[in-house]
Each structure stands twice: as structure tokens, then as C-alpha cells.
Amino acid sequence: MNAGTLGRLQEQFRGEIIQPSDAAYDAARKVYNAMIDKRPGLIARCTDVADVMAAVKFGRESDLLTAIRGGGHNAGGLGICDDGLVIDLSRMKNVHVDPKARTARVAAGCVWGDVDHAAHAFGMATPSGIISTTGVAGLTLGGGIGHLTRKYGLTIDNLLSADLVLADGRFVHASAENNPDLFWAIRGGGGNFGVVTSFLFRLHPVDTVYAGPTFWPLEQADEVMKAYRSFIVKAPEDVNGFFAFLTIPPAPMFPPHLHNRKVCGVMWCCTGAAEAAEKATKPMRSIGKPVLDHVGPVPFPVVQSLFDAVYPPGLQWYWRADFFKELSDGAVAQHVEHGSRLPTPHSTMHLYPIDGAAHLVENKETAFSYRDANWAGVIVGVDPDPANRGKITEWCRDYFDALHPYSSGGAYVNFLMEEGQERVQASFRDNYDRLATVKKKYDPANFFRVNQNIRAAA
């Protein structure tokens, strides 16, 4: 980038501008998934909305491929790009809780740990994911599935409004009253429509939850999974528990004789009274003979950060995902076969329940298109060693190929890597055409295209 072109941005920009020749460049271009190794031409680390406006204007006028980076967690590395401009929001961190109104205004560079910390001081929370280091922006814009989904819905079901900078540089507010078409589209349609600079979320009284894992030996996986599929869809909405195949980490919270053992399990996170949660989860926890049943009252932010240390940034990740309405015997058999062959200790498969409160919203009410599914499944091959890339990728693809015929056809967009336009369309399903119409209105030239891309309607 020549000095004259760059000067135009520098005149209007207060944040940090990082170029390939800068010492900070290599650290700044890193994202969570170490399999992604992209080299942008320029990283614009914004400090405020004015910086975002200047960066969008600069990217558009210089005709640069432009990526938006929130928490940098995206599976396919869509928070960064090769050669072009990265609008990096990671410095825009602020959470303002209004305890009376039960809302939180969250700046777009926050990760979920920032929100949990601020809201927990008031005994409140809003639905997010299952790890505290994920970005608020990317997770929310794709939908948001996590520990509180069955009780309080997806993250987008608790989004009251958002502020955005559009491709033409305008700053707009999106809510049920203002630009409702845009508000509909950003609730599941990803970063296709503009740079969100802040979100307003509804908070709920969630303080201490009844949480923790129940693990069973792999030999019982068939019995446990079959019990789980009928248990969870009938359980009270206070009960959330996702199913997993995993390797027990060698962490102090687990007895040493279980360290590094491959198991299947349910990770619980229940709202409401602990006694009621204990009673409601007991039938499932009494199936077979668990090797560990470690469930009890825990502060919500602790549950949200339980996996942080196991999954630090910088591991190799390969993802595949699908939605599932049912878990037939055939699907269970494939899960047991592939889930029992985890290729590395970090690799895992999670089935997140998305029924309960998430089913109270219709498919067409937000851009998130699979309200009729009961689970969002994700298979992740993970390892610190790049030499194991082939191994984790092959296992993940084989598992996905075996399961896909049992799926609803599309995946949660936040669990997709770069898998092509057909897969994007399958994931937005009947909402795709309406999204394409909104795209035409707000970003007709497809300036925001480093994402699970929606093409503007013809």
C-alpha cells in the first residue's frame, strides 16, 4: 500500500494501523485456529465507531477485499483475509449493564467472558456459547447456541438492537422498530450486511447454575445416546445438557485414574433451583454406570470458562457440522463408531440441544433457519501439532460423511468452514432468498463478502 493511499486513512483514524513490515504484524494476523495462515495487506484496529466508518470508507474507495474481525474464533478464519484490509474490532471493549432495565450494551470487540463478568456482578446473564473466549459479534450474528439455549433461546432471541456501519459508510440502528428488515437479517445472517459496532442484549436472572459433566465408558455409548435422545427433548427447559464424545483432560478437577480416558458424556448446565435440577437430571444420570458424575452448584461464568484452558488459541482445528431433527438408531450407530475413534485428545463431537425456548420462535421470524431441528452437531478434529493435520481432517470428514445422510441438510453457519455456496444456501434454507433481498438493499456490491456469503438478489 503506498504512503499516499494510506495517508487518507491515517488522517481520520485514531486506532492502530498495522502493516506487514510492522513488528506487531505476525501477532495481529493470528486467529484462534492455527490452521488459518492469512496475510492481510493492512490491519486497522479500531478504537471507536468513527474509526470503523473511516476504515469502511477506505476499504471501499481503495477497492480492497475487507474482512471484519470480532473475537477471531471463526472456524474458517473468516475474521481475516489475504492481501486486503482487516477491520479489527478487538480493542472496542465495553459492557454497560443496566440492572433495572435488565439489558447489557456490548461493544463489538468483546468476547463472552467480558459480558459474563459484567452481568454476573448483577446476578444476570444472556445466552451465549460454551466457551468464554469466543467473540460476541461473530457468535451473535450467526445465531448463538450454548448452555442457556433451552431456557432462554438463541443469543439472537435476546438481541434487542444493534448499531451498524453499512457498506456506504452510513451509521444505522437496527431493531424491531428501526430498519426491521436489517434487524431480521443480522439475527442469523452473519456479517453480510455491515459492521456491527454494538449490541443491546436482554439479560436474565442467572447467577449460580447446577452444572458439570456426567461421563460414561465408551462401551455404554449406544445405551447412553439412545437414552439421551428421548430424555433431553422431554426435559424441563431449565435443563440444558449437550452430548459429547471426548477424552477426559489431565486436569486437577478430574481423578487421575480417569485422565486421558476416551468417554461419552453429557455436560449439564441447569437454571432454576439446584434441588429441582438434581431431580430432573437424575433419570439420565442413572443410565448405565457413569465413571464420573460431577454435577453441582457453580457460578455461571465458571461454567462458561471451563473449557478455556483445554482449548487455548493456537491449536489446529478442522470442523464439520449439521443440524439434526432426530437421532435414529442408524445415526447413533455411526456416532458410536466414529465418536469412539477420536484421533487426538482434543478432538471431540458435540450435539447441542436447540429445542425448548429456541423452538418458540418460527423459522421465518429470524434469519436462523433451522428452528425445527433438535440439535446442532459439530465434529472437530483438534490438535496442537500441525503434523497431525491429515489425521484430524480425515477423521472429521469420515465422521461427517457417515452422519450427513441422517441430518436436516444444512449446518449452523458458525460451525461451517469455507465449504462453498451450496452449503451456505442449504444452511439458510428457505430464508436465503429474503436474505438476498436484504443484501441487495444494504450491500448491493457485496463489499462484505469475507463470510458465509449471501449474494445480492438479481
Ligand X SMILES: Cc1cc2nc3c(=O)[nH]c(=O)nc-3n(C[C@H](O)[C@H](O)[C@H](O)COP(=O)(O)OP(=O)(O)OC[C@H]3O[C@@H](n4cnc5c(N)ncnc54)[C@H](O)[C@@H]3O)c2cc1C
Query: Rule CB under 6 A: which residues touch ligand X?
Result: 32, 68-75, 78-79, 89, 108, 129-131, 134-135, 137-139, 141-142, 144-146, 190-191, 195-196, 311, 414, 450-451
Least separation in angstroms between CB 252 and ligand X = 21
- C-alpha separations of 144 from 137, 148, 198, 301 in Å: 10, 10, 16, 17
Q: Give the residue with the Cβ less far from ligand X, 113 or 190.
A: 190
Task: To the nearest 10°, report the CA torsion of 44, 50, 56, 61.
Answer: -100
Please choose, from the candidates 356, 350, 205, 344, the residue with its C-alpha nearest in 3D space to the C-alpha of residue 266: 350
Least separation in angstroms between CB 49 and ligand X = 11
Q: Give the residue with the Cβ less far from ligand X, 141 or 284.
A: 141
Cα separation, 116 vs 139, whole angstroms: 14
Least separation in angstroms between CB 194 and ligand X = 7
Q: Give the residue with the Cβ less far from ligand X, 220 or 443.
A: 443
Least separation in angstroms between CB 164 and ligand X = 7
380 in helix, strand or coil?
strand
Q: Give the residue with the Cβ less far from ligand X, 187 or 290.
A: 187
Q: Give the residue with the Cβ less far from ligand X, 196 or 291.
A: 196
Q: Give the residue with the Cβ less far from ligand X, 73 or 120.
A: 73
Do the bridges between strand 42-45 and strand 85-88 make them parallel or antiparallel, or are there none, so unpaired?
parallel
Q: Give the residue with the Cβ less far from ligand X, 49 or 403.
A: 49
Q: Give the residue with the Cβ less far from ligand X, 142 or 290.
A: 142
Cα separation, 192 vs 450, whole angstroms: 8
345, amino acid identity: P
DSSP symbols for 268-331: EEE-S-HHHHHHHHHHHHTSS--SEE--EEEEHHHHHTTTTTTS-TTBEEEEEEEEES---HHH
Q: Give the residue with the Cβ less far from ligand X, 134 or 408.
A: 134
Least separation in angstroms between CB 443 and ligand X = 11
What b/e readout covers 299-332, taking b as 16+ CB neighbours within 10 angstroms?
A: ebbebbbbbeebbeeebbbbbbbbbbeebeeebb
Q: Give the residue with the Cβ less far from ligand X, 284 or 306.
A: 306
445, amino acid identity: A
- To the nearest 10 degrees (0 to 180), the angle between helices 329-339 and 221-234 is 130
Q: Give the residue with the Cβ less far from ligand X, 75 or 291.
A: 75
Least separation in angstroms between CB 289 and ligand X = 29
Least separation in angstroms between CB 13 and ligand X = 17
Least separation in angstroms between CB 7 and ligand X = 26
Cα separation, 113 vs 136, whole angstroms: 9
Least separation in angstroms between CB 144 and ligand X = 5
Task: Report residue 312 as a C-alpha cell.
Answer: 487455548
171 in helix, strand or coil?
strand
* First vs last C-alpha separation in the chain: 34
Per the CB < 8 A criterion, the answer to whether 341 and 389 are in contact is: no
Least separation in angstroms between CB 386 and ligand X = 17
- C-alpha separations of 150 from 202, 353, 371 in Å: 16, 7, 12
Minimal CB distance residue for ligand X: 138
Least separation in angstroms between CB 384 and ligand X = 14
Please choose, from the candidates 76, 3, 7, 87, the residue with its C-alpha nearest in 3D space to the C-alpha of residue 35: 76
Count of helix runs (H) and strand runs (E) in the chain: 14, 17
